[in-house]
Amino acid sequence: MKLLIVESPSKAKTIEKYLNNEYKVVASIGHIRDLPKSNKDAIDIEGGFIPRYIISPGKESVVAGIKALVKKSDTVLLATDPDREGEAISWHVAETCGIKKPKRVLFYEITEKAVQEAVAHPRELDSNLRKAQEARRVLDRLVGYDLSGLVWKKVRYGLSAGRVQSPALHILALREKEIQSFVPVTYYVITALCLTAKKETLVFTCVKQPGEKKEAQEILALAKEKDWEIVDVTATEALRRPYAPFTTSTLQQAGSSRLGMSPSRTMRAAQKLYEKGSITYMRTDSISLSETALPSIIAAVKKEFGEQYVNVRHYKTKSKNAQEAHEAIRPTDPSKKSAGITEDEKKLYALIRTRTLASQMSDAKILRTKIIANATDRALPNFSLSGSQLLFAGWLALDTAARGDDVEIPAVKVNDPLTLKNIDSEEKQTEPPNRYTEAGLVKELEKRGIGRPSTYAAIVKTIQDRGYVEKVGKALQVTDTGLVVDDFLFQHFEDMVSETFTADMENKLDDIANGEREYEKTLRDFYTPFTKAVKSKDKIDKVTNMGDAPEGTVCPKCGSAMVIKLARNGKFFSCSRFPECDGALTSEGKVVEPPKETGEACPKCKDGKLITREGKFGTFVACSNFPKCKFIKKDDNALPSTDVTCPTCKKGKMTERKGRFGIFYSCSDYPDCKNAIKAKPTGALCPLCGSLMMEGTKTIPDRCSNKTCVNHNPHKLEKK
């Protein structure tokens, strides 16, 4: 038997078909091994930064299945994704499943020709690529645990810091501080509405923007006294060249700005399109197109627009660190106008196809016209009007969203008279720089060399998940928590959050991948000074104050001045005499009532007292020693309980709870037992796996609560 192993189940059937069922194709379903969640003994630092991997929880059956197939096979090929992470997955599969002399195949598109060509030319596993990925994983684990532990102790429990997320946060924090410190400047915009001799309307804007109202009024008064005319007319033809094909970064930027999709959402849709064979591999920083792909792209342009719209172009990747796929993201079949199942997939495919075809189309020709008006004696500042007209659409005939609006301008000549009908001034103020959007941040990360194609989406998502950044409209706004964490890291680990340090480390990882740098030496050169720096900060004072409260803010209890402090849900005002006085105000100025003691001792830690706290879903009773003790008193009357016994601990009852995504059911013995399901349990057990069955809806019958069970999705079961 011949066996081919991929990492995604959705690829397996298609690839098996392309290989004429000569190979049995199975999936590892992503990574099968990882570092244990606990940092203790996860990495043998003294032994040379050797990671101690474990089989990922829930992957035991996958590993057992692959092992059984490997024993029956005389040929085993590893065909995971064509990047460092894919190389690492292949190595883990080979190591864990006992594959002797493993062979690796690479294809950048899931098409019959590409798959068959790859299988015909297997290679050895690339240990350098695997080591580079391993170095990144180990490095991020060591930095994350050490830095996060310090932030927990010195800022607030539950926060985190990371090697790449911290520089990304710093970029946003610097912009936020720039916005906060911005002092607006007043200026005046003067517009004049004029008529030509043919009664055509022209609206001019004064080139000079006065900073004083008096100056603006003087211009208005003088303008009304004067005769006006056309001073200058400049018409120039300009060319607009098409954009290069998509890289991972530019795809995420366009997905955000054009489609309103977050980078992670864009990458999910792109992954599905790749797995279906609709596009080439979506993690790349190359803008080149393969010579084999160009003829079909050009043919599609000719068919849709004609010969005059074709302009063959060869794009060269400028980044010296481009190390992922060998070409840009493109459709595998350019003649196919639509692909994908979901709306996200369909819209993203259309965007990728448009960008690819447009990259091989003619320049757009635009006529840009600028008219200058003034008084006949030139006593005024110049007034200008600009417009543009599309002479030849070129690539804009396809990518209409990039065109913009034409501004038609009547034909006028120098010295043509103008009649001033109205002139007015509007007071305005300069505005602070805009906050970064997700697309803007990805562009900035790429520009500064922070992260690589496979990490951009994860970076943007992580800083939002951590509560350091909030998405307000399309903009990323740093929260109070994010600002405090950034200040702490910048004050004590300035090198760690600097773009030069992070970019330099990325270059060193690239050197490992290219076989030009040693794994252990690279990690030791970094970790030795880093761990010393972390230990040296152990004695610094805890960050409690964020500065003085606004003037006039006084303690509601003793009348003393107040300071700003950080709470789990943002900042609040605390009495400067704390702990002698526990007076506090919310950031909106409301009095914060201290937790009330119930008079009961904590049954778990024995030292703490039970107090009433206010939470996201109302009041609850918990230990005063939180977060050291996480005891929460159960209020059985407050939570609707079912009669269904928890199958995990066999003691508690499945109880209705409310979470951030709505109602769910979990064991009443939480947090000792963390069993939870999405819908109300029926009390019956699944006949296939023995897990609890959940109540269905009008369209979906009762189903298994176990996501990995076929009975979790009744529609799939019916097909089987």
Task: State percent of the chain over pLDDT 90.
Answer: 60
- Give per-residue pLDDT as tens, 560-571: 999 988 877 678
Where does the pLDDT of residue 500 fall: very low under 50, low under 70, confident under 90, or very high at 90 and above?
A: confident
- Give per-residue pLDDT as tens, 64-86: 999 999 999 999 999 999 999 99
Nearest to 492 by CA among 548, 459, 536: 536
- Asked if the model's pLDDT at residue 169 lies above 90, the reply is yes
Catalytic residue among 281, 468, 519, 527: 281
pLDDT at site 586 = 86
Mean pLDDT value across residues 538-556: 85
- Asked if the model's pLDDT at residue 512 lies above 90, the reply is yes
pLDDT at site 718 = 42
User: Which range is least confidently modeled, 214-228, 243-257, 372-386, 696-710?
Assistant: 696-710
pLDDT at site 325 = 59
Where does the pLDDT of residue 122 fall: very low under 50, low under 70, confident under 90, or very high at 90 and above?
A: very high
Tell me which CATH code domain 2-125 carries.
Answer: 3.40.50.140
Superfamily of domain 248-358: Topoisomerase I, domain 4 (1.10.290.10)
pLDDT at site 366 = 94
> What's the rounded Cα separation, in Å, for the pair 380 and 194?
15
Task: State percent of the chain over pLDDT 70.
Answer: 94
**In a 10 Å sphere around its CB, with 0-12 CB exposed, 13-18 middle and 19+ buried, how is residue 638 labelled?**
exposed
Quote the DSSP letter at residue 715. H
E strands of 515-607, at which residues? 545-548, 562-567, 570-575, 584-586, 596-601
Of residues 253 and 12, which shows the higher confidence score?
A: 253
- Give per-residue pLDDT as tens, 449-499: 888 888 899 999 999 988 899 999 999 999 988 988 998 898 898 887 787
Sorted by where each begins, the domain ranges of the chain are 2-125, 142-181+460-536, 186-241+364-429, 248-358, 545-623, 641-719
Mean pLDDT value across residues 671-679: 82
3-state secondary structure 575-599: ECCCCCCCCEEECCCCECCCCEEEE
- Is 281 designated active site? yes
Query: Going by C-beta distance under 8 Å and a sequence separation of 6 or more, which residues neighbour residue 352?
Result: 246, 251, 270, 273, 279, 329, 330, 331
Query: Going by C-beta distance under 8 Å and a sequence separation of 6 or more, which residues neighbour residue 410?
Result: 196, 198, 200, 202
- Give per-residue pLDDT as tens, 15-37: 988 998 899 999 998 899 999 98
Residue pair 45/133 in contact by the 8 Å Cβ criterion: no
Residue 664 three-state SS: strand
CATH classification number, 142-181+460-536, choose in 3.40.47.10, 1.10.4030.10, 1.10.238.10, 1.10.460.10? 1.10.460.10
Mean pLDDT value across residues 191-207: 95
- Give per-residue pLDDT as tens, 405-459: 778 888 899 999 999 999 999 999 999 999 999 999 999 999 888 888 888 999 9
The CATH T-level fold of domain 186-241+364-429 is Topoisomerase I; domain 3 (2.70.20)
Number of Cα atoms under 13 Å in the Cβ half of residue 467: 13
> What's the rounded Cα separation, in Å, for the pair 82 and 109?
10
- Asked if the model's pLDDT at residue 616 lies above 70, the reply is no
